[in-house]
Amino acid sequence: MLLAATSTQRLLFVGGKGGVGKTTIASALAYARAEAGERVLLVSTDPAHNLGHLWEQRFGDEPRTAARLAAGEVTAVEIDPAATVAQHLAAVSTTMRGVLPERMHGQAAAHLELARNAPGSHESAILERIADLAIEQGATYDTIVFDTAPTGHTLRLLSLPAQLGGWVDQLLQNRGRSERFAEALQGLVPGGGRSGAPAEHPLTATLTRRRERFAHLESALTDPERTAFVAVSVAEPVPVSETIELASELASSSIRLAATVINRRTTVVADHERAALESEQVARLAAALPAIPIAEVARLGGALSGVPMIARVAALLG
Ligand SMILES: Nc1ncnc2c1ncn2[C@@H]1O[C@H](COP(=O)(O)OP(=O)(O)O)[C@@H](O)[C@H]1O
Ligand SMILES: [Mg+2]
């Protein structure tokens, strides 16, 4: 059911409350699509990564093979926001140094340091990586599965393209100020003017490209043919209420909720009473979101890690 509900989209976001099974379900989804012959990129955007633990492998900011199957494969990335911010600032800094007179370099560096520590800079960085992966690597991977951070964080993240990084704007403004300063210097200092192309172009181009990538990401996220959001929950009152709320928040961001997953579902055989209570919650979810299919994944025993276990969960997705 879950596979059928998300079969045509190439960008899958798996979200939900902390601890409900996002990483497990995202991994199983990625594995199932690789089994079907796809090249799948599995990306953790949760700063508290636990992808590596589940796969019993070490992952990092660079893509690494997680599983190679007969026809397809899963490659994994755990986004490192601090490294992304640092990389970006290093690139901007190089460009700035190239376009500003040397005496302005100190001021430029101070502006960039402010940007590094600005509120939301890590979130912008994660979003930027999502945009890069979604847009530029679309040719390398058939599908990208994002294992996201707990609900509130993810929603904030996905609504960022709309708000559009204050970070970017701040850099542009800082740049504007510095440039006026530079122009003033050029006028005052004999021979201080730089010849050739206008100095402002390289930096403006860098920052404008970033803005455009955010805009591209926003159009991908809100396109139901490209993006599907899967909300994971357990069959308890609070998580189910949060899932219903999540569905309406996604709708207001124009993101399609393709399916919900009720994970760790108790079987009637294991505990009759508990299974009945859980059924009430599943029914409540179905009544609140009548158009959204619900996939149920049974509570499994034993240690839930390692590739064979991920394959076992994948087989339960149906
Ligand atoms: N179907 C399941 N049956 C039993 N335990 C599960 C199941 N799915 C997930 N778990 C366990 O629940 C815990 C949280 O799962 P995880 O995927 O890390 O959640 P999240 O990423 O949402 O925080 C882990 O210990 C995991 O092994
Ligand atoms: Mg997780």
Summarize pLDDT for 75-97 with one digit per residue, the tens.
Answer: 999 998 888 888 877 877 787 77
Contacts of 260 (CB under 8 A, 6+ apart): 230, 231, 232, 233, 243, 247, 285, 289, 292, 293, 294, 295
Least confident stretch, 45-54, 98-107, 163-172 = 163-172
Ligand at minimal distance from the CA of 78 is 2
Entry field: residues in the chain: 318
**How many angstroms separate the alpha carbon of residue 17 from the centre of ligand 2?**
9
Contacts (Cβ under 8 Å, ≥6 apart) of 34: 40, 67, 69, 71, 72, 73, 74
Kindly give the distance from the C-alpha atom of residue 168 to the centroid of ligand 1, in angstroms, as a whole number. Answer: 37
Nearest atom in ligand 1 to 298's CA: 1
pLDDT of residue 146: 95
Ligand located closest to 25 CA? 1
Closest residue CA from atom 8 of ligand 1: 21
DSSP 149: P
Ligand 1 binding pocket (C-beta < 6 A) is: 18-24, 50, 263-264, 297, 299-300, 304
Which ligand is nearest the CA of 302, by number? 1
Residue to mutate (ligand 1; options 2, 14, 23, 24; most atoms within 8 A of CB): 24
Higher pLDDT, 48 or 75: 75
142 is catalytic: no
User: Whose C-alpha lies nearest to ligand 1, atom 25?
Assistant: 304
- Residue 172 confidence (pLDDT): 53
Ligand 2: centre distance to CA 193 (Å): 54
**If you measure from the C-alpha of residue 31 to the centroid of ligand 2, how many angstroms do you get, rounded to a whole number?**
16
The domain 2-82+125-161+213-317 is classified under which CATH number: 2.40.10.340, 3.30.390.30, 3.40.50.300, 1.20.1250.20?
3.40.50.300
Atom of ligand 1 nearest to the CA of 26: 17
| Atom nearest to 265 CA in ligand 1 | 1
Cβ atoms of residues 295 and 317 within 8 Å: yes
Whether residue 179 is predicted with pLDDT greater than 90 in this model: the reply is no
| Region of poorest pLDDT, from 88-97, 247-256, 262-271 | 88-97
pLDDT at 145 over 50: yes
> 79 alpha carbon to ligand 2 midpoint, in Å?
13
pLDDT in tens, 294-305: 999 999 998 899
Which residue's CA lies nearest to atom 19 of ligand 1? 21
- Closest ligand 1 atom to Cα of 300: 3
Supply the residue whose CA is at minimum distance from atom 9 of ligand 1.
21
Which of residues 87 and 43 earns the better pLDDT score? 43
Kindly state the average pLDDT of the residues 280-284.
98
Residue among 290, 11, 308 at smallest CA distance from 147: 11
Token pair of 107 as six digits: 């001021």
Task: Compute the distance from residue 199 Cα to the ligand 2 centre, in Å.
Answer: 45
pLDDT digit string, tens, across residues 207-250: 677 778 878 888 888 899 999 999 999 999 999 999 999 999 88
Q: Report whether 22 contacts 297 (CB < 8 A).
A: no
- Distance, in Å, from the CA atom of 116 to the CA atom of 278, rounded to the nearest integer, reads 46
Distance CA 171, CA 175 (A): 6
- What is the pLDDT at residue 130? 87
Q: What number does the ligand 1 atom closest to the CA of 313 have? A: 1
Can you tell me the distance from the alpha carbon of 278 to that of 293, in angstroms, rounded to the nearest whole number? 17
What residue spans of the chain are helical by DSSP H? 2-5, 22-35, 51-55, 81-99, 105-117, 121-136, 151-158, 160-163, 166-188, 201-221, 237-252, 272-288, 307-317
Sheet with 39-44: list strands edge to edge: 64-68, 73-78, 39-44, 143-147, 11-16, 227-234, 257-265, 294-298
What is the structure's pLDDT at 190? Answer: 32
For residue 13, the SS3 value is strand
State the ligand closest to the CA atom of 51: 2
